[in-house]
Amino acid sequence: MELFGTAIESIYLTILIVSGSLIVLYVLFSDLLHAIHGIADPGGWINPAVVLAFFTFVSASGYILEFATGLGSMTILVISILIALVLDSILNIFVFIPLSRAEESLGYTEDSLRGRIGKVILSIPVDGYGEVLIESKSGVIAKSAKSFDEESITEGTRVLIIDVKQGVVFVSPQEEL
């Protein structure tokens, strides 16, 4: 069968290549697009990866069925859509939904350290650097530290992280309540 003067197999193959390429680009750049303007998340109710996967499944199954069977092109299109709906549902339920509920990262950012409590493990001199140990749910973090108030802080002192600049935490002794 031909559509717009082009063999239907060529149309299926073109859609397969384009949608497969778009999926790869989406996976690589979705975080960047989302961070810039929320482009990758159009309203939160539809996932572009699911839509692109649907077109990939339709075109792949249509291409294979055109070569492997003697069925009519409309029958193959309907079968391909049904196959794509089933595979897309499985992909969404067992991959995309669990991934969206997973915690983003066990890491930390410098901004997330501000306001946390740490313990000095290497004394901080007045005009030098020491080291602070910060406990978190994902483990412990040891960071270079400098006194925020330009005072000496001894080993074992609990400190409050005031600021973080270039990987160094600026701390002040925690006041006892």
Measured distance CA(139)–CA(134) in Å, rounded: 9
At residue 1, the pLDDT reads 62
Residues in Cβ contact with 123 at an 8 Å cutoff, skipping those fewer than 6 apart: 130, 152, 153, 154, 155
Average pLDDT of the segment spanning 59-85: 92
pLDDT at 90 over 60: yes
Are residues 137 and 117 both part of a single domain?
A: yes
Assign 88 a pLDDT band (cuts: 50, 70, 90).
very high
pLDDT at 85: 95
What's the whole-number mean pLDDT along residues 8-28?
A: 88
pLDDT at site 32: 73
Stretch 158-169: mean pLDDT: 89
Q: What is the CATH number of the domain that holds 165?
A: 2.40.50.140
Domain check: are 14 and 48 in the same one?
yes
> pLDDT by residue (tens digit) across 22-68?
988 888 887 776 666 555 454 456 778 888 999 999 999 999 998 88
Q: What is the mean pLDDT of residues 169-173?
A: 91
Interaxial angle between packed helices 8-37 and 48-68, expressed in degrees from 0 to 180 and rounded to the nearest 10: 170
Assess whether 75 and 161 both reside in one domain: no
Cβ atoms of 159 and 144 within 8 Å: the answer is no
pLDDT at site 11: 87
**Does 94 lie in the same domain as 28?**
yes
Same domain for 34 and 97? yes
**C-alpha dihedral (122, 123, 129, 130), degrees to nearest 10:** 20
145 and 61 share a domain? Answer: no
Q: Which residues contact 51 (CB under 8 A, 6 or more apart)?
A: none
Domain holding 81, by residue range, is 2-101
Do 11 and 89 lie in one domain? The reply is yes
Do residues 163 and 114 make contact, with C-beta atoms less than 8 angstroms apart? yes
Predicted TM-score (pTM) above 0.75: no
Number of domains in the chain: 2
Query: Is 31 within 8 Å of 40 (Cβ atoms)?
Result: yes
DSSP, collapsed to helix, strand or coil, labels residue 69 as: coil
Which of 101, 122, 157 is the last residue in one of the domains? 101
Q: Which 3 state secondary structure label does DSSP give 37?
A: helix
76 — pLDDT class (breaks 50, 70, 90): very high
Pairwise pLDDT comparison (36 vs 171), residue with the higher score? 171
Percent helix, strand, coil in the chain, to 5, is 45, 25, 30
Q: What is the pLDDT of residue 126?
A: 87
Q: What is the mean pLDDT of residues 66-93?
A: 91
Q: What percent of the chain is predicted at pLDDT more than 70?
A: 83
Tell me the H-state helices in the chain: 8-37, 48-68, 73-91, 97-101, 110-113
152 SS3 class: coil
Over the chain, what is the mean pLDDT?
A: 83
